[in-house]
């Protein structure tokens, strides 16, 4: 009887010990359910790309944005952001506290961004030459005249970084520094799924472009989703459920989802050229790529070079970005890596706590201070919340 009584007591104790955790989970369940109306409201109210800016140059679907400063700039050379032709450029200004644009504004720069817009059926014939030697060139010339400067700082993200490297190699005299953010440069090897999928033995890019004209947004998004299906289709939804009662997490979720699902097509001939010349033939690092009748020679890049990569990037491996090192002639090359993914590199809290402040300081050290700029910058930082 003593043994039976002891066992009964032990069982009761186990039940009692488990009861608080059971009740806690029940409370979390009810908290999530009560949060549903607020979650729907947040989904409608979440805004992205909210930093004030004016459109200063347009051409077809392309726009050049100039972000407004609250104080005078402290550096003579402005920063021009060049994003990829896939998805929307506002990923660089996703939310006020997760905005790469704001990081450079706070550091004291004039900031510009190229918004390539959404190509129409009539744009299917646009090539890399159109983007790099056309609108990007005109945007740089406009900024130089507006800011009365000989050079600009160029920052390119993903495919935009590749385009930024092309521009700098063709017009090195116009670029003060080049920052490559998760930018594919060396396309050799199969470390990333995109390199494997675009292998000419498996992927007929001509068939896609000839059938659709422009590469469809749904095709690109499907490819990106299935590059990491567990994280994109399962873990993300589990995380959403677990954080439903956290308003800040929900706002972050809806902001990022707005961007992820805001896909755009890529001009057909540009997509064809990018896949064939770069992914399949790796002509850029071989020194065999030409735009507008001019050979793109990476050795002509002599300006300071900053390579920003993400350790867990499944789209563009750090090795691909770092692959530019053997081909440039600049002696001022620095690399910064963060434990994040391709998108987390620009929107994670960790990135904006230390990674981006360090990157903007690097650029400030390679810029020309304006008279009184250091004092103005100190006063601005002291008054920031």
Q: What is the pLDDT of residues 335-376, one digit of tens each?
A: 999 999 999 999 999 999 999 999 999 999 999 999 875 554
Count of domains forming the chain: 1
Would you say residue 34 has pLDDT above 70? no
Q: Tokens representing 12? A: 């009761």
The residue annotated as part of the active site, out of 123, 313, 327, 352, is: 313
pLDDT digits (tens, 9 = 90+) for 212-223: 999 999 988 887
Any idea what DSSP says for residue 215? B
pLDDT score at 385 = 38
In the annotation, is 342 catalytic?
yes
Residue 255 lies in a domain: yes
- What is the separation of C-alpha 360 from the centre of its chain, rounded to a whole number of angstroms? 16
**Mean pLDDT score of the chain, rounded to an integer?**
85
338, containing H or E segment? strand 333-338
- Which residues are CB-neighbours of 204 under 8 A, at least 6 positions away? none
Q: Identify whether 178 is part of a domain.
A: yes
32 or 270, higher pLDDT: 270
Among residues 117, 51, 109, the alpha carbon closest in space to that of 89 is found at 117
C-beta separation of 76 from 149 below 8 A: yes
Alpha-carbon distance 125 to 271, whole Å? 10
Identify any residues that bridge with 181 across adjacent strands, giving them in sequence order.
Answer: 157, 308
How far apart CA 240 and CA 246 sit, in angstroms, is: 10
Residue at 38 is within a domain: no
102 vs 21, higher pLDDT: 102
Q: Which residue has the tokens 């092309």?
A: 166
Is residue 92 classed as helix, strand or coil in its secondary structure? Answer: helix
pLDDT for 30:
53
Residues 83 and 116: beta-carbon distance below 8 Å: yes
Query: Which tens digit of pLDDT belongs to each residue from 226-241?
Result: 666 646 555 566 665 5
**Is 158 assigned a catalytic role?**
yes
Binned at pLDDT 50, 70 and 90, residue 377 comes out as: low
Helix (H) or strand (E) holding 249: helix 247-260
pLDDT of residue 36: 59
As a whole number of angstroms, the distance between CA 303 and CA 177 comes to: 5
Asked if the structure places residue 162 within a domain, the reply is yes
pLDDT of 222 reads 82
Domain-located, residue 127: yes
Give pTM, 2 decimals: 0.83
Output 55 or 222, whichever has higher pLDDT. Answer: 55
In the prediction, which pLDDT does 254 show? Answer: 67
**Helices 159-170, 136-147: crossing angle, 10 deg rounding:** 70
Q: How much is the average pLDDT of 9-30?
A: 55
Burial of 263-293, coded b for 16+ CB within 10 Å and e otherwise, reads: bbbbbbbbbbbbbebbbbebbbbeeebebee
What is the pLDDT at residue 227?
65
Let me know if residue 19 belongs to a domain: no
Give the per-residue pLDDT at 75: 98
Distance from C-alpha of 270 to C-alpha of 288, rounded to nearest angstrom: 17
- Nearest one of 238, 251, 198 to 46, comparing CA atoms: 251
Four-residue CA torsion sign, 255, 256, 257, 263: positive
Residue at 25 is within a domain? no
Q: Where in the sequence is the domain holding 171, given as residue range(s)?
A: 53-377
pLDDT bin (cut points 50, 70, 90) of residue 32 is low
Confidence of residue 41 (pLDDT cuts 50, 70, 90): low
Q: Give the single-character DSSP code of 328.
A: -
The pLDDT assigned to 194 comes to 78
Task: Say which range, 103-112, 256-265, 268-277, has the weakest mean pLDDT.
Answer: 256-265
pLDDT at position 368 is 97
The 10s digit of each residue's pLDDT in 161-217 is 999 999 999 999 999 999 999 999 999 976 777 787 888 888 999 999 999 999 999
Higher-confidence residue of 266 and 28: namely 266
Residue 383 domain flag: no
Separation of alpha carbons 367 and 154, rounded Å: 12
* CA separation for the pair 345, 337 (Å, rounded): 9
Whether 303 is catalytic is no
Answer whether residue 381 shows pLDDT above 50: no
Q: Which helix (H) or strand (E) holds 50?
A: none
CATH code of the domain in which 271 resides: 3.40.50.1820
**Annotated catalytic residue, options 66, 253, 327, 342:** 342
* 122 or 25: which leads in pLDDT: 122
Burial of 104 (0-12, 13-18, 19+ CB in 10 A): buried
Do residues 61 and 123 make contact, with C-beta atoms less than 8 angstroms apart? yes
Which residue out of 82, 158, 215, 303 is catalytically annotated?
158
Which range among 177-191, 239-253, 287-301 has the greatest average pLDDT?
Answer: 287-301
User: What is the percent of the chain with per-residue pLDDT over 90, rounded to a whole number?
Assistant: 66
Strand partners, 19: none
């Amino acid at each position: 009887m003593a043994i039976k009584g002891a066992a009964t007591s032990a069982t009761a104790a186990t039940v009692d010990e488990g009861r608080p955790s059971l009740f806690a989970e029940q409370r979390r369940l009810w908290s999530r359910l009560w949060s549903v109306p607020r979650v729907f409201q947040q989904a409608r109210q979440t805004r992205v790309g909210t930093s004030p800016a004016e459109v200063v140059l347009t051409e077809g679907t392309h726009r050049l944005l100039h972000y407004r400063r609250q104080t005078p700039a402290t550096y003579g050379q402005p920063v021009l952001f060049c994003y990829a032709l896939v998805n929307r450029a506002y990923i660089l200004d996703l939310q006020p506290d997760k905005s790469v644009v704001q990081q450079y504004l706070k550091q004291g720069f004039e900031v510009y961004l190229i918004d390539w817009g959404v190509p129409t059926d009539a744009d299917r014939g646009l090539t890399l030459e159109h983007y790099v030697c056309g609108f990007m060139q005109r945007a740089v010339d406009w900024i130089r005249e507006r800011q009365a400067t000989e050079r600009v700082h160029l920052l390119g993200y993903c495919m935009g970084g590749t385009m930024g490297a092309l521009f700098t190699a063709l017009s090195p005299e116009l670029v003060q520094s080049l920052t490559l953010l998760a930018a594919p440069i060396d396309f050799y090897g199969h470390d990333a799924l995109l390199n494997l999928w675009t292998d000419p033995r498996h992927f007929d890019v001509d068939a896609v472009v000839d059938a659709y004209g422009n590469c469809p947004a749904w095709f690109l998004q499907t490819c990106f989703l299935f590059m990491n299906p567990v994280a994109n289709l399962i873990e993300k939804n589990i995380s959403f459920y677990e954080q439903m009662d956290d308003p800040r997490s929900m706002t972050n979720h809806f902001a990022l989802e707005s961007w992820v699902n805001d896909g755009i097509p890529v001009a057909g001939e540009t997509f064809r050229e990018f896949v064939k010349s770069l992914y399949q033939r790796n002509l850029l690092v071989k020194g065999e790529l030409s735009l507008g009748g001019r050979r793109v020679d990476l050795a002509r890049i002599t300006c300071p070079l900053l390579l920003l990569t993400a350790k867990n990037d499944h789209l563009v491996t750090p090795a691909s970005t770092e692959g530019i090192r053997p081909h440039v002639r600049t002696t001022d090359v620095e690399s910064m890596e963060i434990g994040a993914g391709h998108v987390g590199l620009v929107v994670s809290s960790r990135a904006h706590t230390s990674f981006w402040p360090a990157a903007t300081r690097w650029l400030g050290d390679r810029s020309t201070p304006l008279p009184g700029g250091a004092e103005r910058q100190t006063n601005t930082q002291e008054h920031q919340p």
